[in-house]
Amino acid sequence: MAFQMYMVVFHGEFSQGTSRAVQQHIHKLNGFTLMVMKTGIIVAFDDSLVPAVQGHPGVKMVGGVTLSPHGYAADRLQRIFAENLSKQIQIKTE
Amino acid sequence: MPNVGAELASVPFGKMIYDMASAIARSQVALDTASIQLVQVLARTTFDYVPDVVETLLPNPRQVKGANGAPLMDDDGNPVMITGVLVQTDVGTAFPLTLLQAGVNPTFYAFTNSTIEVKMSITSTQESSNTLSVGVSVSASADFLFASGSVSSHVNFTSSNKYSYSVTGSSSMSTTLAPVPPPKNMMPRFFLVNAIDISKISISQS
């Protein structure tokens, strides 16, 4: 049981509807969308949920990814991921 | 008598190890294939990368206006001015960058530890019982002319042997899958040629 980053690749041409449907599906599984692109999305969710995400009809493949600090835009991507993550996390106070 | 050594020897360890190793090898190939497919996806997925945004702060003096909108003057009759600031933004030309170049790498997995555990329980019981009963009956009679007597005896012998032998076994296999850095041969090499200064061109590889 561990959160990991995944690249979720869509079937066929880019469709706004498919992209949203997959994001909502992942959100229902307590996952988070980190970045959205035309070919797919970079998300974070529990590794035990890979089959559930893979089972969505709009999903072609799911593969684990990591962020290399040596990448040309790694720091920017990290900032984008953090910003998008912060918009989806609700901090609950007692 | 049960032969524990023979029972243990009958466990197909070799086949179990081979089957497990074979399954791991097939799984490893499938995982590597999926990771390589992901490398191709990451290498094809591009986004417009803006290398830099330059913000320049420039002076922007303004005259302060009074209550009715007229320019506010000081006691000497000079207009009251504030420095002000003008932010000039210059966005660098965007160019396409692949996710792989940007730093998103596929995760490769490797089986790090595999265990085969075989548990065997051998139970053997033997129960013997023998029963021996001996009986003798004697009868005698006598009357006026003759006398008679009889002796009879019986022997009952019962022997029973119960023998039970049971072997139960269970086996379990476990393996650990861990993420590992991408193998160098499966990742493209990146060369960065820094030609900003023509007199000091440098090439670096990552």
How does residue B48 score in pLDDT terms, banded at 50, 70 and 90? Answer: confident
Model pLDDT, residue B123:
86
A64·B109 Cβ contact <8 A: yes
A85 in Cβ contact with A31 (< 8 Å): no
Within a domain: B159 = no
Look at A5-9, B7-11, B79-83, B174-178 and tell me which has the smallest mean pLDDT. Answer: B7-11
Q: Which 107-166 residues of chain B touch chain A by CB within 8 A?
A: 107, 109
Contacts of B179 in chain A (CB under 8 A): 64, 66
Number of domains in chain B: 2
Residues B170 and B88 in one domain: no
Q: Are B44 and B99 contained in the same domain?
A: yes
Whether B25 contacts B111, CB under 8 Å: no
Question: Are B80 and B172 found together in one domain?
Answer: no
Task: Summarize pLDDT for A78-93 with one digit per residue, the tens.
Answer: 999 999 999 988 776 6
Query: Given B45, B47, B179, which is nearest A64 (Cβ)?
Result: B179
DSSP state of B200: G
Q: Are residues B115 and B201 in the same domain?
A: yes
Kindly state whether residue B142 falls inside one of the protein's structural domains.
no
Q: How many CA atoms lie within 13 A of A86 on its CB side?
A: 6
Report yes or no on B152 lying in a domain.
Answer: no
Which of B41, B102, B109 lies at the smallest CB-CB distance from A73? B102
Q: What is the pTM for the complete model shown?
A: 0.67
Alpha-carbon gap, residue B158 to B147, rounded angstroms: 37
B206–A61 C-beta distance less than 8 A: no
Q: A with B: how many residue pairs have Cβ under 8 Å apart?
A: 76
Instruction: Dump pLDDT digits (tens) for A10-64.
Output: 998 888 999 999 999 999 999 999 999 888 999 999 989 999 999 999 999 999 9
Q: Which residues of A touch B (CB under 8 A)?
A: 4, 7, 9, 37-40, 42, 61, 63-74, 76-77
pLDDT on residue B17:
87
Q: Which of B92, B116, B142 is the endpoint of a domain? A: B92
Within an 8 Å CB–CB cutoff, is residue B99 touching chain A? yes
The nearest CA of chain A is from the CA of B105 a distance in Å of 5
B107-131 residue pLDDT tens: 998 998 888 888 888 888 888 999 8
B99 and A37 within 8 Å at the Cβ level: the answer is yes
Residue B15 is assigned to a structural domain of this protein:
yes
Q: Which range of residues forms the domain containing residue B58?
A: 52-92
- Does residue B19 sit in the same domain as residue B111? yes
Q: Are residues B103 and B40 part of one domain? A: yes
Q: Say if B151 falls within a structural domain.
A: no
- Is residue B6 scored above 90 in pLDDT? no
- Considering the domain architecture, whether residues B98 and B88 belong to the same structural domain is answered as no
Considering the domain boundaries, does residue B10 fall inside one?
yes
Which range of B74-78, B88-92, B168-172, B189-193 scores highest in mean pLDDT? It is B88-92
For residue A71, the chain B residues in CB contact (below 8 A) are: 101-105
Identify whether residues B60 and B87 lie together within a single domain. Answer: yes
Give the lowest-confidence range in A54-58, B135-139, B143-147, B199-203. Answer: B143-147
Instruction: Evaluate whether residue B109 is within a structural domain.
Output: yes
User: Is residue B17 located within the same domain as residue B34?
Assistant: yes
Res A32: pLDDT: 94
* pLDDT at res. B73: 86
What one-character-per-residue DSSP string does A9-70 give?
Answer: EESSS--HHHHHHHHHHHHHTT-EEEEE-SSEEEEEEEGGGHHHHHTSTTEEEEEEEEE-TT
> Please, is B49 exposed, middle or buried when counting C-beta atoms within 10 Å of its C-beta (0-12, 13-18, 19+)?
middle
**Is residue B71 located within the same domain as residue B118?**
no
Helix (H) or strand (E) holding B19: helix B13-44
For residue B57, pLDDT over 80 is answered with yes
Same domain? B14 vs B87: no
Q: Which of A38, A65, A70 sits opposite B107 (nearest CB)?
A: A65
- Percent of chain B at pLDDT > 90 equals 18
Is residue B136 assigned to a domain?
no
Of residues B146 and A82, the one with the higher pLDDT is A82
The answer to whether residues B88 and B178 belong to one domain is no
Give the minimum alpha-carbon distance from B38 to chain A in angstroms, rounded to a whole number: 6
